[in-house]
Structure 1
Amino acid sequence: MKRLLIFLLIVGMMAGCSNVYSEEEGYRMALINHGFPIPKNASEIRPEICTTEIAKSAKYKLKDIGGSQGEPPAHYLAEIEDWGWTELEDQRVGNIHYYKKEGKIMSLVFQKHIFDVFEMSDEVKM
């Protein structure tokens, strides 16, 4: 019995460490904005502190979400638009993307294995 428990613990730990971006996994709603998609297998970690420009923030860990140079997967960006968000392409700076829908502005910041999602405050006009 003890060996079985140890085996299940090891298998569970290995499964928890294997979260890699995959478009086949699908998407779920972000905690900070239920109309914004997040890859299903992304793990939430401690978010950044909000400022006057940022109303809400969430930080997610997902292996290879940002590629080798922090570039986001094209499928994920297409999924965001499928959920009704429009990218503010003229506001993009490197790996920081902005999206707008129904008066709300969301910002995504990508790194190799981490991405931040920010809901901008109503004071920010773009």
Structure 2
Amino acid sequence: MKRLLAAAVLSAIVLTGCSYEYANEDGYRMVVINEGFPVPKNAYEIKPEDCTTEIAKSAKYKLKNIGDAEGTPPAEYLAEIEKWGWTELTDKRIGHTHYYEKEGKIISLIIQKNVFDVFEMSDDVDL
């Protein structure tokens, strides 16, 4: 019984240490829907929203502390997106929804407290 309890405690400690939390130092990788758009490397993919006529592709990620209560993303993440060659369409920003453009593609990034969505907009969308 003591061995079982010790194994359970050790598992809990290990799992807690592997939590998915935003840290700029962990780096970035490509989002699953667009090879040129970065997402934090330790973001955990979950079931995305359904596509619509305006949204060609979608991805949804869970990541602790990606946004604050108002959905404000870390400045380091926004800077990384620009490093990857994306230009924010600041005049199109609505609340915590950011739009980025690169080579004719438009990506919508919606940040909430511990979750974020990345949408590749359809080519015929007029923002």
Do both proteins adopt the same fold according to a TM-score greater than 0.5, normalized to the shorter chain? yes
Instruction: Give the match for residue 84 of structure 1.
Output: 85
Distance 1:74 1:10 in 2: 32
Partner of 1:100: 101
TM-aligned CA deviation for residue 123 of structure 1: 1.0
How far, CA to CA, are the matches of 2:10 and 2:104 in structure 1? 47
After the TM superposition, which of the residue ranges 57-66 and 2-11 deviates more from structure 2?
A: 2-11
Q: Which amino acid aligns with 2:121?
A: M
User: CA RMSD of the aligned region, Å?
Assistant: 1.6
- The letter for the 2-side match of 1:76 is Y
Q: Pick from 2, 9, 12: which aligns with 2:11? A: 9
The count of aligned residue pairs is: 125
For residues 90 and 57 of structure 1, what CA distance do their matches in structure 2 show?
A: 22
* 2:70 equivalent to 1:64: no
**Percent same amino acid among aligned pairs?**
62
Aligned to 1:33: 34
Deviations 1:59-81 (A, max 9, x none): 10111111121111111011000
The whole-number CA distance in structure 2 between the counterparts of 1:58 and 1:12 is 28
User: In the alignment, what sits opposite 1:122?
Assistant: 123
Q: Which runs of 5+ in 1 are unaligned?
A: none
| Separation in structure 1 between the aligned mates of residue 43 and residue 72 of structure 2, nearest angstrom | 16
Structure index of larger Rg? 2
1:55 equivalent in structure 2: 56
Q: 1:12, 1:57 → 2: CA distance?
A: 32
Structure 1 position 3, deviation (Å) = 6.5
Q: Which runs of 5+ in 2 are unaligned?
A: none
SS at match of 2:77: helix
CA–CA separation in structure 1 for the residues paired with 2:7 and 2:59: 34
Cα deviation code 1:26-62 (max 9, x no counterpart): 1011000011000011101110000000000001011
Write the distance in 2 (CA, Å) between the matches of 1:12 and 1:125. Answer: 48
